[in-house]
């Protein structure tokens, strides 16, 4: 294993650790109710505060990355998250619990642009394929989400406090590991590479990188909005077809979908390198619209799981496309921290409003809500086809230019 591979592995371990430490809390929600007397409103606020502070901290983290260095920001951010985990573990009342979760969210928000900037620096420094690395990055993120509840289930006898303290130690160790994983000095772009790789309609190259960050961030916000709308709606839909508890059906559907997404990102990172970004986006929207429409056919576990897998393959394609677009946006090379901070801020807005919109839509229309969500994806796909020629000229090519990329993972 070469130095680039070792550093990339440490970065991916950090991604798994961050996401696992978040989802490990979910099975312990009943324990928090007993431990601090948290009402349902406090539990809801606990998750909302985490999402809000994480969202607001991302632009700050991006600015910090550009002012300092990605490895230092990543280390400091994870130490802030570690402090939040410890406060959450020892919380004896609702106010302390909320403060711990808010601090935890700040740490995870600050570290997000540092991880993405670190990934981009590794790709440039070691000539690693951007597409391959992004596929690994996405798979690691999904693996972390799946690993958290599994760890919580196995380690339940330890109790919340002991498990969270172990998580805090692992997070702190990961923080210091990132100091050596991410190159300490950014790879500066060549003078002629500070603009978009493709001129627009024969004019001068575009230098306003933030416009493309807004476009790609909007795409990711749409993707997050649709997925987060399904998180509360699919359990309600599956429950309508069950005579008893739908817990097993819900678990099967989400595990199948997340596993398909992780595998899809890994495969797309390796075999879709030559596809243009606009083509990847069209493929993703197509799979999402078909999968969502299919879910409405039947509320039984097997067909819902099958159609949800189709949807999650489209989700994987869009997840990769948006982030590849940011990494390969040459005009943002000198502002990559700010680019990823702004991108993450825009993207997380979808996670905030998606569940609310999904539940309201389901209450109003029932299973037709899946058709409506699929129709939104189809409308965006149709718009892309109508503007296909111009879009191909505007978006980065999505092709890696390195002649011999070093394989990772």
pLDDT tens, 99-139? 999 999 999 999 999 999 998 888 888 888 888 888 998 89
Cβ atoms 322, 227 nearer than 8 A: no
Say what the pTM is: 0.79
- Outline where 183-335 has alpha helix (H): 209-239, 247-271, 277-295, 301-327
Residues of the chain with pLDDT under 70: 1, 156, 185-207, 243-245, 330-334, 388-409
Q: Supply the pLDDT for residue 244.
A: 64
Q: Supply the pLDDT for residue 333.
A: 67
Q: Supply the pLDDT for residue 61.
A: 94
Q: Supply the pLDDT for residue 199.
A: 35
Q: Supply the pLDDT for residue 394.
A: 52
CATH superfamily of 3-185: MFS general substrate transporter like domains (1.20.1250.20)
Q: Supply the pLDDT for residue 25.
A: 75
Which residue, 17, 20, 74, 25, is CA-closest to 49?
25
The ranges of the chain annotated as CATH 1.20.1250.20 are 3-185, 192-394
Cβ atoms 310, 27 nearer than 8 A: no
Which residue, 256, 255, 239, 237, is CA-closest to 247?
239
Cβ atoms 250, 232 nearer than 8 A: no
Q: Supply the pLDDT for residue 324.
A: 86
DSSP three-state, residue 175: helix
Q: Supply the pLDDT for residue 134.
A: 86
| Pair of tokens at residue 33 | 């109710």
| Pair of tokens at residue 353 | 């409003």
| Pair of tokens at residue 405 | 């990329």
Neighbours of 95 (CB within 10 A): 11
- Cα–Cα separations (whole angstroms), residue 191 to 33, 188, 333: 57, 9, 11
Q: Supply the pLDDT for residue 246.
A: 74
Q: Supply the pLDDT for residue 189.
A: 44
Q: Supply the pLDDT for residue 396.
A: 54
Neighbours of 30 (CB within 10 A): 10
Q: Which fold has domain 192-394?
A: Growth Hormone; Chain: A; (1.20.1250)
Q: Supply the pLDDT for residue 38.
A: 76
Q: What is the pLDDT of residues 154-194, one digit of tens each?
A: 776 777 788 888 889 999 999 999 988 998 765 444 443 43
Q: Supply the pLDDT for residue 114.
A: 93
């Amino acid at each position: 294993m070469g130095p680039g591979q070792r550093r990339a592995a440490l970065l991916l371990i950090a991604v798994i650790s961050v996401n696992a430490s978040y989802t490990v809390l979910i099975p312990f929600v009943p324990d928090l109710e007993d431990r601090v007397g948290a009402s349902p409103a406090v539990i809801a606020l606990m998750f909302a505060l985490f999402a809000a502070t994480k969202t607001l901290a991302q632009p700050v983290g991006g600015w910090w990355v550009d002012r300092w260095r990605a490895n230092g920001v990543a280390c400091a951010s994870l130490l802030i998250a570690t402090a939040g985990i410890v406060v959450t573990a020892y919380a004896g009342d609702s106010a302390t619990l909320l403060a711990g979760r808010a601090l935890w969210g700040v740490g995870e928000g600050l570290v997000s642009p540092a991880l993405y900037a670190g990934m981009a620096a590794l790709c440039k420094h070691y000539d690693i394929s951007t597409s391959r690395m992004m596929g690994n990055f996405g798979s690691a993120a999904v693996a972390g989400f799946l690993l958290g509840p599994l760890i919580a289930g196995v380690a339940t006898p330890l109790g919340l406090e002991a498990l969270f303290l172990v998580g805090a130690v692992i997070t702190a160790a990961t923080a210091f590991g990132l100091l050596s994983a991410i190159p300490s000095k950014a790879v500066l772009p060549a003078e002629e590479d500070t603009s978009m790789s493709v001129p627009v309609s024969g004019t001068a190259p575009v230098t306003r990188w933030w416009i493309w960050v807004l476009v790609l961030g909007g795409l990711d916000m749409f993707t997050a909005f649709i997925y987060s709308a399904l998180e509360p709606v699919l359990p309600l839909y599956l429950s309508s077809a069950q005579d008893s508890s739908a817990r097993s059906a819900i678990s099967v559907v989400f595990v199948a979908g997340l596993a398909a997404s992780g595998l899809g990102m890994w495969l797309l990172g390796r075999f879709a390198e030559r596809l243009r970004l606009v083509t990847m986006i069209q493929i993703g929207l197509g799979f999402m619209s078909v999968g969502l429409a299919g879910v409405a056919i039947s509320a039984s576990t097997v067909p819902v799981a099958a159609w949800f897998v189709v949807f999650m393959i489209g989700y994987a394609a869009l997840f990769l496309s948006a982030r590849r677009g940011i990494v390969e946006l040459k005009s943002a090379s000198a502002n990559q921290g700010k680019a990823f901070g702004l991108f993450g801020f825009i993207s997380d807005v979808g996670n905030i409003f998606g569940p609310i919109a999904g539940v309201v839509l389901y209450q109003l229309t029932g299973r037709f809500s899946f058709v409506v969500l699929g129709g939104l994806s189809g409308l965006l796909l149709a718009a892309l086809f109508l503007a296909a020629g111009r879009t191909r000229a505007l978006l980065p090519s999505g092709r890696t230019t390195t002649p011999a990329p070093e394989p990772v993972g």
